[in-house]
Structure formats: C-alpha cells, structure tokens
Amino acid sequence: MANPVSLKHLATTVAVFLLVTFSFAQNVEWAAKVEGVSSEFVWNAAPGSYTAKTVLGEPSCFIYGKGIGIAWAPSKQKSDVPEYLHVSFANAIQVRQIIVNEMQNSGSLTHITLFDTEGVAHVGYDEPQPKPSPNGLFIYMIPLTPYKVVGLKAEFNTNLVNGYINVDAIGVSSSDTPYTHKLNEVPASLFVSDAERLSDNVNTNASELLPVISPDGSTLYFTRQNHPGNLGTDKSKQDIWVSTKDSVGGFKMAVNLGEPINNANNNSLCSVTPDGQTALLLNVYRADGSSSVGMSMTKKGVDGWQFPEEVIIQDFYNRNQYGEYHLNADNKTMVMAVQRDDAIGNKDVYVSFLNDDGKWTVPMNLGGEVNTAEGETSPFLAPDRRTLYFASSGWPGYGGRDLFMSTRLDESWTKWSKPINLGSKINTAGFDAYFVVPASGEYAYFTSNKGDEYKEDIHRIKLPNALRPKPVVLVKGRVLNAKTNEPLGADIIYESYLTRSVMGSAKSDANDGKYQIVLPSGSSYGFLASSKGYASLNENIDLTNLKDYNEITRDLYLFPLEKGQVIRLNNVFFDTDKYNFRTETSFELNRLVSMLKEYVNLKIEVSGHTDSTGDDAHNQQLSTNRAKAVYNYLIENKIPSDRISFKGYGESKPVATNSTEAGKQQNRRVEFLILEN
C-alpha cells in the first residue's frame, strides 16, 4: 500500500531584475520544431523534463541559475564532442539577432549555424572561448541576413563550464532593438491594496496551508502543520482547522475540526461544497485508523461530519508523492494536480467528471496551454467553471512557484488562454500557491512564505476586475415542508435550459433546512429540492445577461404526496396563446414521469388554468389543451391512462388578482391534484 501524502511546500529564493508589462508583443520567431539533438538528460521521475522539446516556444523562465526541467539539458555534464540542438521555425524571416535563453552555466555556446529556405548553411556565430551571457540571456546582433532563415543549429562545448547546461528557448528576430524579457503579468497598479496577512486568529508560528473559503466568504478552512493543537503525538503531521467570520468581518480564533476527519495521520481539506454539507479530503481513510493515497468525501449529518468515504476515480494513480485536488462548486467537476503517464513533465493539471454511478471519469490532461515540463500545483476552478487559478514553476515568474490564471475557451477542456502571472502584489521570490476565491470573486486567499522557506501563512488580497471570474449568483434559502413549514434535509439539483443538462447538485442541512448553490452566468436554470415521499415545487432563474455578482434568497418547498394536495408545475412553459411545450419543459415533465413510476399507487389530475385576458370560451379551450398536452406526454412515457386524467378550468380558479401582470402570471399555470396515493 502506498504511503498517504501531505501537502508540498517547496521554496527557492532568487533575485533577478525583470522588465515587466501586462501585454506585450515582440517580433521574435521562437523554435517550433526540433530537427535534431545530440543527447538528452533522462529524469525517470519526470520523463518529459529536460528534453529537446522543452526549448520550443517562447522562454519559460527568466531566472538565471535555476536549473529546471522546462529547459533542455544534455545527457552528461561534460562531453568529448559538442552537444547541439537543431531547431526550425514556423516562419522564415531575415535575421538581425539570435536569441538563446540559458538557465544555468552560460558560457559554453560556441557555434551557431543558420539555415536558409534552400537548406544552405550559413555561419551565424563562432566563438571558441565564449563569455557567460548576462543573466544567461544570449543575444547576438548580426547584419540583417539577405536570406530568410528557417532553421538554426546551436553547438555547445560543455567542457568550458562546470555542471549541466540548461537551454530554455531559441529564437531569431529581424528587429534592430535587442530582445528583452517581458513578464506577462497583471500590473500592480490595478490592485487597490497590498496583500494582507490574516490575523493571529488564523496564522501562527506553525505553517498554515491550503485555504478553502466558503462561497459566501464566511467560513475559512485550512491545513495547519507543526502545531501543538494537532491531533496525534507527531505534531509535524497536518490537521484541518476552521475559522468563521465575526460580526465585523474578521476571522474568529480557529479551532481544530476534530475527529473523524482529523486523526494521527496527515489530514487536509481540499474543497467544501457551496451548501457546506460535503467536503473533499486528501487521502483515503481506513477503518483501522490508517490512510492511503487517494481522496475521500465526508458529509455533514445531524451530529456533525461523518466518517469519510473513498472517492472512486477510474484508472486513478499518481506517480508523484504529492497531489492537490479541487471540487468545483457544481459538485460534478474536479481538477487535480497529479503526475500520470501522459504528463508533459512533472505534475500536470487534470480534470475529472462525476458519472451517474457516483464514480469519477479517468483524469484528462488539460494540455500544454496550461501544463509545462516543470510542475503545476494547487489548481482551483472558480464557480464559473471557466476561470482556472494554479501555481507553477514552469511559466515565467518571480520565484520558486508563482500563481497564474487561465480561462477555458471551449467545451473541450484542452483549449485555454495563455496563463497570466498574477503579478508582484501576489507573487514573491518564494513559494506562492493554494489560491482560492469565494463566489463573489472580490477577495482571494492564498498561501505564501514571503521568501521564508520554513514558514507559510495565509494572505488575502482584493482582486481587480481583470482577475475576477465571470459573475455568478449565490442562491441560498431553506428547504421546507409546504404543509407544516418544517425544515427538511433534501437533495437539490440545478439544470441549464441552454445545454439541457444537469449542471450541479447540493444538499440542504438536515437540522435547519438551509442550502446554498452557485449558478454561473450565461444560462437560464431550473432548480428544485427532492426528498422521499415529497413532490417538489420547482424554481427557475434567468442569468443569461448577468453582469455582476449577486446573492438571492429563495426558499424551496416540498409537498407531501397526500390525497388532495395540489402541486404547481412551475417550469412547464408555453408560448403565448399556444399549447405546444417549449424545449425547456422536458426537465419538469420528466421528473413528473419519474415520480409516477416510483410511486405506482399515485393517481393524479392534471389541470390547466389561464388569466382573465380574452374570451372565456377561448381560455377554457386553451387551458384544456395545455392540460391535455401534459397528459399526452405522460401517456407517451408509459404512464397508464387509468392513473391520470386532465381538465381545463379556464379562468375560473385564480390564485391571485388579474388586475396586475404579476397576478396574471401566477394565474397562468399547470397543476396536478393528487387523487389517490
């Protein structure tokens, strides 16, 4: 059995001068294809690292002296023959300057050959005794070539330096202006304040890691290491702690979450669902008190958190001893940083989706627009399901590991915007990771050691609009018995009318009936609660044109399946003066079909109603036709005709005044009456 894992916190302290800008364009052709290589260093722990392919594209690192896997290294430190890289470019251009970005041990580049479009070789650079380049950035200016260059071969005499050489990128440019590194980052000027360290109620002399903020921003979970309040005799192990906000918005003194989710092993909480009823935990909890690699889920019952159950992911494995996981607010999408056989280098970011059988799909790599040949960690997928925050040592940044943001561009989950560095207000020369935001996106919480390798704290910063996810709505309320008004524990689902699919799920608290769900912008939704022995009154909300974050309160009612109970079908939609269903109606009617198939003794009457607008006879016929349309749908779906009937009541049974538009809307309805159960 593999050993359970703890959170990784590794820092490298460096200093480097960077020319930074938010957006930039420099006329450089970077290597697009490897045509040949003398040798490659093989790192069995991450086979994709240090290969010749790592030189392709623009520079991945601006920090000299940092030997990393996103840069090519030859198989040996010293070789009797020249080591070389032969690359080609996507576009042939005339060349004014040659660029080679070296990560360490600069001073071995002795010869460069340029190849024109006819395959003719030209000497571009020749220096048997080269000097080290400033900060490892080799820039060689030459007269503009009369020919167009399509390829380049760089040769290195590794006997001239001590240690491995490390080449990150090779490029050519026709510009007279020497190339300079420019960091693709969010400018500090966009932030209204600096990052603040949370108070001593949260941060201590121990290490505080992995903040998890509830969607409403009121509860902060985090992992604490080397603290005397941790369970077990070995205080170097990690425990889960929690703090809630007080009346003035500060966090109260954190408390250990206790058993059963904390024990003598390493314990970390990765995510908590918007309803606060389910948490994703690191490691698999065993009944004998031991742990193993994987994940677990714990649910909140009447008496608190229950014993965690293993999360089953198809073909799950992690070649790395560390892994980070995040469950999205929809309860159906999980992102993770693990090392698998198709990883580009070290740990990559993957996504997995919940199947109907409760198991998760095989993790899918997000691809090279997010992942690098180095390591990616601590992914967080915002409630909009589009905005991804993650830490990486494989994209240009300030230190050992920086925080980045990327946006999903389509439904393939492999097309992403170029990651943008979150900037100097957040990133430091040390370790920065575990970036999370509440549903509002107003503030971000993250872990940083500010260059102190042995001490991590949780910080908070107000985000500029450029770094916030797309707006969402936080819907909260209570699930209640419509007859007695008592709170109920129930399952809640929400569906998109745009995609005609279930988008997420939640649970209400069994004690007080409270629930919370997060709905992304860009769609109309139906949502409802369900519980054994009850029928639900469904709700809907249109967020197609949502521009700003919002919070609304909406109680959900469940009706006992008793004789005489009348239940409105809220999400049955007809066009004006028509009785043909609109597409989104299928969700509501399919649930009615399922309920009738589950409760085989249930008999109902479907009734149609109108407002008082128009002719009485016309309204009577319209209401009858609409009720019959529902009846026909049930018959088509194998519900016996002796269990259902229909009737139109026209405008004879209003439930509100017909003198207002709001009242008329309530009167235009389809209901069903329970005749027998």
Q: How far apart are the first and last CA of the chain?
A: 52
DSSP of 258-322: -TTT--SS---EEEE-TTSSEEEEEEEEPTTS-EEEEEEEEEEETTEEPPPEEPPBTT---SSS-
pLDDT in tens, 400-449: 789 999 999 999 999 999 999 999 999 988 888 999 999 999 999 999 98
The amino acid at residue 257 is L
Fold observed for domain 562-677: 60s Ribosomal Protein L30; Chain: A; (3.30.1330)
The pLDDT of residue 21:
38
* Cα atoms found within 13 Å of the Cα of residue 673, Cβ hemisphere only: 11
> Which CATH superfamily includes the segment(s) 189-467?
Glycosyl hydrolase domain; family 43 (2.115.10.20)
pLDDT at 371: 96
Class of domain 471-560: mainly beta
Give dist(CA 240, CA 254) in Å, integer: 10
CB-based contacts of 527, cutoff 8 Å, min separation 6: 475, 492, 493, 494, 495, 517, 519, 538, 539, 540, 541, 556
pLDDT given at position 24: 45
pLDDT in tens, 116-133: 999 999 999 999 999 999
Protein fold of 25-181: Jelly Rolls (2.60.120)
State the pLDDT at residue 10.
Answer: 32
Segments of the chain assigned to CATH 2.60.40.10:
471-560
Q: How far is CA 198 from CA 35, 106, 525, in A?
A: 52, 42, 37
Return residue ranges of the chain for CATH 3.30.1330.60.
562-677
What are the residue ranges of CATH 2.115.10.20 in the chain?
189-467
| pLDDT value of residue 335 | 98
CATH 2.60.120.260-classified regions of the chain: 25-181
State which residues of the chain have pLDDT below 70.
1-25, 451-454, 576
Whole-model pTM: value is 0.85
